């Protein structure tokens, strides 16, 4: 299995939030968790990141229990620690102090060395009219592509 096979994305994040700054973080995982992630049995649609004692954790990330795991299997929705350097954690801490800001996961991938990484972004929630503008721009782009194709 190659690294390109893992395709766990949060498709709603770009629609629901204005994304400002992106970070790549490592994850502390057990053996059965990484096996489930490599077989695309994970979801980050409802997940978000929190800061606890100068450490960053991802909450609500669902990792399906490994089907060949025994009593060593993991909890499906436990908190998982993210590995970032101190400068990045300080930037995230400053970001979270402003009301309405959050940290959302965008994508899980496996790097060249075989480690699971998580792409996270600093985000602000969109209003309803912003979402409508995005849908209108998407429809306009689709119509222009159709016209060029003809």
| Nearest of 77, 88, 78 to residue 55 by alpha carbon | 88
Our count of domains for the chain comes to 1
Measured distance CA(79)–CA(71) in Å, rounded: 19
pLDDT confidence of residue 26: 93
Measured distance CA(81)–CA(27) in Å, rounded: 6
pLDDT digits (tens, 9 = 90+) for 64-80: 887 766 667 777 788 88
pLDDT confidence of residue 4: 59
pLDDT confidence of residue 84: 93
Which parts of the chain sit beneath pLDDT 70?
Answer: 1-4, 68-71
- Residue numbers of the domain that contains 104: 3-149
Question: Which CATH number does the domain housing residue 55 bear?
Answer: 2.40.280.10
pLDDT digits (tens, 9 = 90+) for 30-42: 888 888 888 888 8
Long-range pairs for 84-91 at CB < 8 Å and ≥24 separation? 84/23, 84/25, 84/26, 84/56, 88/23, 88/25, 89/51, 89/54, 89/55, 89/56, 91/21
Q: Reduced to 3 states, what is the DSSP secondary structure of residue 59?
A: strand
């Amino acid at each position: 299995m190659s690294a390109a096979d893992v395709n766990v994305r949060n498709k709603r994040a770009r629609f629901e939030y204005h994304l400002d700054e992106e970070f790549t973080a490592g994850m502390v995982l057990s053996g059965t968790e990484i096996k489930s992630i490599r077989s695309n049995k994970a979801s980050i649609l409802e997940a978000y990141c929190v800061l606890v004692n100068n450490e960053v954790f991802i909450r609500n990330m669902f990792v399906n229990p490994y089907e060949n795991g025994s009593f060593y299997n993991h909890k499906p929705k436990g908190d998982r620690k993210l590995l970032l350097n101190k400068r990045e954690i300080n930037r995230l801490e400053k970001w979270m102090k402003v009301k309405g800001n959050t940290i959302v996961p965008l994508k899980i991938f496996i790097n060249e060395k075989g480690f699971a990484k998580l792409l996270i972004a600093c985000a602000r929630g969109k209003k309803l009219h912003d979402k409508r503008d995005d849908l209108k721009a998407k429809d306009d782009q689709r119509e222009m592509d159709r016209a060029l194709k003809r």
